[in-house]
Amino acid sequence: MLNLLGTIAGNILSLPGILGLALGMTTRNVFLGSAMGGVVGVFETMIFAKFQMANVEMLELLIAVAVGLMAGALGSAIRIKGTTV
């Protein structure tokens, strides 16, 4: 359980969380923002696996993509709310 929580927190504080949020804030389209965050999650996992699918753990990949999707959607929501104030 501690390994799972550490993986989630590590992805939130790493590229999928921070870069996904920043890329989501570049667009007002929620689906595009979350897609860009998901791509960042896949790319970050592949970087740490040295671009070899044999080194990729599916749980890590799923968590990275999920965090990227949520961060991108949150970034888009921040952009939408910020323009209406």
Please state the domain extents for the chain.
Answer: 2-84
Tell me: the pLDDT tens digits for 8-65? 899 899 889 999 999 999 999 999 999 999 999 999 999 999 999 999 999 999 999 9
What does the buried/exposed string (b/e) look like for 47-72 if buried means 16 or more CB atoms within 10 Å of the residue's CB?
Answer: eeeeeeeeebeeebbebbbbbbbbbb
27: Cβ–Cβ under 8 A, 6 or more apart, which residues? 33, 36, 76, 79
Q: Which helix (H) or strand (E) holds 23?
A: helix 15-24
Q: pLDDT band for 85, please (50, 70, 90 cuts).
A: low
Specify the pTM: 0.90
